[in-house]
């Protein structure tokens, strides 16, 4: 069963087995299933906003088109590329964790974190621009350029969904940072012990997944 390369020294690092689990495989399965369920709740959380988006897009199609064109597509595209690439590095981190290459795990996670910060910086500039010209949600809307009913609603949806997504980026960064510290300090990830990296990376992929949908919805249509 242990087909993958072993960590140096022969003793395989193994996570602590909690007393109430029958075996390690049960424990891992439980952790993974728990994570999937948690991701399901996250998806449903964003689904609420998608519904608001869908309903208001249905009611104000023209406002939606006009407002989405006022966004900065270049920045949005760069952010998409950044996030997709960070997802790649997160996946690679799991890959190296399985092979026990702890240094590489740390490097990949560090790359992910750097890109996450990049994402947030770009997002900050986008937000800043909007605050300047006044394309703000609801009653704060003060942009003269687009005067259609429903445009403030577009920005309500825009700000709510990107802010919620941004919050998830931050949470994901914290989770991944923990794995990175562990990879550096304890360096005990290996073929039997990579659940922590895997779960963190799954969370990160979810953040990416949500953005994959938010991007065309907000910027392109």
Partner 1 sequence: MTPSSSIAAPGATPAPEEHHDHHPSYLVDGTTIKSWLLTVDHKRIGLMFLFWVLLFFLVGGIFALLIRVELLTPGPTIMDAMTYNRTFTLHGLVMIFLFMIPAIPAVFGNFLLPLMLGAKDVAFPRLNLLSLYIYLGGAFIALWGMLNGGLDTGWTFYTPYSAHTTTTVAPVLFGAFIIGFSSIVTGINFIVTCHTMRAPGITWFKMPLFVWAIYATSCIQVLATPVIGLLLCLVTVENLFGFGMFDPARGGDPVLFQHLFWFYSHPAVYIMVLPAFGVMSEVVATYSRKNIFGYRAVAYSSLGIAFVGFFAWGHHMFVSGQSTFAGGLFGVLTMLVGVFTAIKVFNWVGTVYKGAVDFKTPFAYFCGFLFFTVFGGMTGIALGTVSLDVPWHDTYFVVAHFHFIMVGATIMAFLAALHYWFPKMFGRTYHEGWGLVSAALIILGFNATFIPQFLLGNNGMPRRYYEYPERFQALNVASTAGASLLAFGFIIIAMYLTYALVYGKASGKNPWRSKGYEWVSESPPPTHNFVGPQPVFPEEPHFYVDPKKAEVPDAV
Partner 2 sequence: MAIANESRQEEQNMREEHHGAGRYWLIWVLLLVLTAVTVVTGRIHIPTWGLVLALVVATTKGTLVLLYFMHLIDHRGANRLVFAVSILFVVLMLAIPLVDLGTRYRGATPPGSTMSDMQAIDIGADAQEGRYGGGLRKEGKMGEESGAPRQ
Which one of the spans 24-32, 118-126, 173-181, 205-213 is the region binding partner 1 (CB under 8 A)? Answer: 24-32
Distance CA 158, CA 43 (A): 17
Least distance in Å: CB of 123 to partner 2? 17
Residue from 125, 204, 218 nearest 169 by CA: 204
Q: Which does 189 bind (CB under 5 to 8 A by kind): partner 1, partner 2, none?
A: none
26 part of the interface to partner 1, by CB under 8 A? yes
Q: Which does 209 bind (CB under 5 to 8 A by kind): partner 2, partner 1, none?
A: partner 2
Distance CA 95, CA 9 (A): 20
Q: Which does 70 bind (CB under 5 to 8 A by kind): partner 1, partner 2, none?
A: none
Residue from 127, 5, 149, 7 nearest 71 by CA: 127
Would you give the binding string for partner 2 spanning residues 143-162, x where CB under 8 A is met? -x--xxxxxx----------
Distance CA 21, CA 25 (A): 9
Give the count of alpha carbons within 13 A of 201, CB side only.
28
Q: Are 161 and 45 in contact (CB under 8 A)?
A: no
114 part of the interface to partner 2, by CB under 8 A? no
Residue from 86, 213, 67, 221 nearest 154 by CA: 67
207, with CB counted inside 10 A (0-12, 13-18, 19+), is buried
Would you give the binding string for partner 1 spanning residues 161-200, x where CB under 8 A is met? ---x---------------------------x--------
24 versus 187: smaller Cβ distance to partner 2: 24
Q: Which does 39 bind (CB under 5 to 8 A by kind): partner 1, partner 2, none?
A: partner 2
110 part of the interface to partner 2, by CB under 8 A? no
């Amino acid at each position: 069963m242990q087909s993958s390369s072993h960590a140096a020294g022969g003793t395989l690092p193994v996570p602590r087995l909690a007393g109430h689990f029958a075996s390690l495989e049960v424990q891992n399965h439980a952790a993974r299933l728990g994570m999937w369920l948690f991701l399901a709740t996250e998806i449903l959380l964003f689904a609420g906003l998608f519904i608001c988006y869908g309903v208001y897009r249905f009611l104000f199609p023209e406002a939606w088109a006009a407002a989405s064109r006022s966004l900065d597509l270049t920045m949005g595209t760069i952010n998409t590329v950044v996030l997709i690439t960070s997802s790649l590095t997160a996946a690679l981190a799991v890959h190296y964790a399985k092979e026990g290459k702890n240094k590489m795990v740390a490097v990949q996670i560090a790359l992910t974190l750097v890109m996450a910060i990049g994402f947030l910086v770009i997002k900050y500039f986008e937000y800043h621009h909007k605050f300047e010209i006044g394309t703000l949600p609801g009653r704060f809307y003060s942009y003269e350029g687009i005067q259609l009913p429903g445009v403030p609603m577009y920005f309500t949806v825009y700000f709510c969904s990107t802010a919620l997504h941004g919050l998830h980026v931050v949470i994901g960064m914290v989770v991944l940072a923990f794995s990175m510290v562990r990879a550096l300090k304890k360096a005990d990830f290996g073929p039997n012990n990579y659940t922590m990296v895997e779960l963190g990376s799954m969370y990160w992929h979810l953040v990416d997944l949500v953005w994959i949908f938010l991007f065309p919805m907000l910027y392109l249509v």
